[in-house]
């Protein structure tokens, strides 16, 4: 059984939530994909892979096979973290494409297919096109992550990709607020910590001022 706390999804962009799958929510660092079971749990919480597919993977994976995939996911995470940290706060340029070769190589491994199914969403017509993954091997579990990272690159304005301003916080997010004034991963956590620190600083300054004037 996986005893980790629920994963953090505060980035407003799934590709960044993947980068936030290692974080320090309180005082101790937590890596939600430190092993195979953790990776499957994170995929399930992110709604990236159907639960029945994950159950099948658990049942038929060879010993150590899921841990190996989790290690590949961690390597992908740290490589892409470097890309995001380099480019956040600025629009992506055409030159950035050359840096994305490892991601394109991952996407090339996708052998999913499309099929016509009864429409599940509102819209015209009785049918809709559904993309279906084949999930032949545990390594196929890397493909939804690749898609999430690719969507981040292709749909987000990197000008509004930010790091939380909390001094000890490592979380990243896409600022979709009006005026793009978001500063914190979660206002109730890092924002309040900053307010409390500022309050303590003002109190100390006031005390020093009072001591000096007496």
Each residue's pLDDT tens digit, 37-64: 999 999 999 999 999 999 999 999 999 9
Residues in CB range of 77: below 8 A, 6 or more apart: 18, 19, 21, 22, 33
Query: What does the pLDDT look like over 130-171, one tens digit per residue?
Result: 988 899 999 999 999 999 999 999 999 999 999 999 888 889
The structure tokens listed for 93 are 């340029």
Query: What does the pLDDT look like over 91-122, one tens digit per residue?
Result: 999 999 999 999 999 999 999 999 999 998 88
Across the chain, the runs of DSSP E, i.e. the strands, are 22-23, 30-31, 113-118, 127-132, 161-163, 172-174
* Per-residue model confidence (pLDDT) at position 163: 95
* Per-residue model confidence (pLDDT) at position 209: 56
* Per-residue model confidence (pLDDT) at position 206: 45
Give the span between the Cα atoms of 129 and 148, in whole angstroms. 19
Query: What does the pLDDT look like over 74-85, one tens digit per residue?
Result: 999 999 999 999
Say if CB 40 and CB 57 are below 8 A apart: yes
Residues in CB range of 122: below 8 A, 6 or more apart: none
Minimal CA–CA distance to 142: which of 56, 59, 72, 52?
72
Across 72-214, the runs of DSSP E, i.e. the strands, are 113-118, 127-132, 161-163, 172-174
* Per-residue model confidence (pLDDT) at position 109: 95
Query: What does the pLDDT look like over 11-20, one tens digit per residue?
Result: 999 999 999 9
Minimal CA–CA distance to 32: which of 13, 19, 16?
19
Q: Which residue has the higher pLDDT, 153 or 124?
A: 153
Please give the model's pTM, rounded to 2 decimal places. Answer: 0.84
Helix (H, G, I), strand (E, B) or coil at 70: helix
């Amino acid at each position: 059984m996986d005893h980790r706390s629920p994963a953090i999804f505060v980035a407003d962009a799934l590709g960044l939530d993947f980068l936030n799958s290692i974080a320090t929510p309180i005082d101790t660092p937590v890596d939600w994909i430190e092993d195979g079971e953790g990776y499957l749990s994170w995929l399930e919480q992110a709604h990236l892979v159907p639960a029945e597919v994950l159950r099948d993977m658990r049942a038929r994976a060879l010993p150590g096979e899921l841990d190996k995939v989790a290690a590949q996911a961690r390597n992908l995470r740290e490589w892409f973290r470097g890309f995001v940290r380099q480019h956040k706060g600025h629009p992506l340029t055409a030159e950035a494409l050359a840096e994305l070769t490892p991601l394109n190589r991952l996407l090339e491994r996708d052998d999913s297919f499309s099929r016509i199914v009864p429409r599940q969403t509102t819209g015209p017509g009785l049918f809709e096109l559904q993309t279906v993954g084949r999930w032949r091997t545990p390594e196929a579990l890397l493909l939804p992550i690749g898609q999430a990272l690719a969507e981040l690159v292709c749909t987000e304005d990197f000008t509004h990709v930010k790091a939380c301003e909390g001094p000890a916080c490592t979380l990243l997010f896409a600022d979709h607020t009006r005026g793009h004034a978001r500063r914190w991963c979660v206002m109730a956590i890092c924002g309040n910590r900053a307010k409390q620190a500022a309050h303590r600083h003002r109190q100390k300054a006031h005390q020093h001022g009072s001591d000096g004037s007496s």
